[in-house]
Amino acid sequence: MRFDLLTIFPDIFKSYFNESIIKNALNNDKIIIKVHDIRKFSKDKHKKVDDVPYGGGPGMIMTPQPIYDCIQYVKKNNNGPVIYMSPAGDILSQNKAQRLYKTLNGAGGAIILCGRYEGIDQRIIDLCVDKQISIGKYVLTGGELPAMVLIDVLSRFIPGVLGTHDSIAEESFSKALKGKKEYPHYTRPVMFKSKKVPDVLQSGHHAKIKKWREDNLR
């Protein structure tokens, strides 16, 4: 699955994508991530990408030209939908992420647009954006963190990205757990700060362990 990220702060992504599961997914060609600097597409002689809002008001708005040209460029190599990360978008959940994964899998990926300042010119949304996604009911300074959240949650559905694919089937919010949150986990030592691992989990009795875990879904 290919993700093309459009941003004015391309360096933000380097650290996160260079660690752990996402790094392995990149190295194993399970995902491809290309980061594009919107500023490079600006036709302004000072490479400006923002301007004051028509009608007045605080803050700046990202101008349409550099974003539009960047999207057209990226579309040459990515047939997926254009997703704008926005607090006004459809709020992400595990179920919605799974449905989106299926759609993107068919399309081969997605183009993800990260806003900054007060957001982007509405005409980009009208002309180019297929879907707006929010990662929660709060406002962040930019769309880069939300884009990383989206790529992370989607990547976990790709077979082979996680150690065992079963691990996603039995995670919080999954059908196997009836949409509930996962049972508590324990590892060694048996006793930690006077808190003991429940006896049943040490019993080796699979049926009883299964029942305990079902009873302790949250």
Radius of gyration of the chain (CA): 21
Q: Among 13, 1, 50, which Cα is nearest to 147's?
A: 13
Instruction: Report the nearest approach of ligand SAM to the CB of residue 147 (Å).
Output: 8
What stretches of the chain adopt beta strand conformation (E)? 2-7, 32-37, 50-51, 61-62, 82-91, 109-114, 131-134, 191-192, 195-196
Instruction: Report the nearest approach of ligand SAM to the CB of residue 150 (Å).
Output: 9
Task: Tell me if 52 sits within 8 A of 60, measured CB to CB.
Answer: yes
Site membership for ligand SAM, residue 142 (CB under 6 A): yes
Return the number of the residue (136 or 160) whose C-beta is nearest ligand SAM.
136
Q: How far apart are CA 2 and CA 33, in angstroms?
A: 6
Helix, strand or coil, per DSSP, at residue 20: helix
Supply 96's token pair. 């919605």
Return the number of the residue (114 or 129) whose C-beta is nearest ligand SAM.
114
Return the number of the residue (64 or 115) whose C-beta is nearest ligand SAM.
115
Helix, strand or coil, per DSSP, at residue 153: helix
Site membership for ligand SAM, residue 146 (CB under 6 A): yes
Return the number of the residue (151 or 177) whose C-beta is nearest ligand SAM.
151
Binding span for ligand SAM by CB under 6 A among 69-77, 131-139, 162-170, 207-215: 131-139
Segment 53 to 92, residues that bind ligand SAM, using CB under 6 A:
85-88
Instruction: Report the nearest approach of ligand SAM to the CB of residue 140 (Å).
Output: 4
Instruction: Report the nearest approach of ligand SAM to the CB of residue 86 (Å).
Output: 5
Site membership for ligand SAM, residue 156 (CB under 6 A): no
Conformation bin of residue 175: beta by default, left when phi > 0, alpha when psi is -120 to 50: alpha
Residues that bind ligand SAM (CB under 6 A): 85-88, 114-116, 118-119, 134-136, 138-143, 146
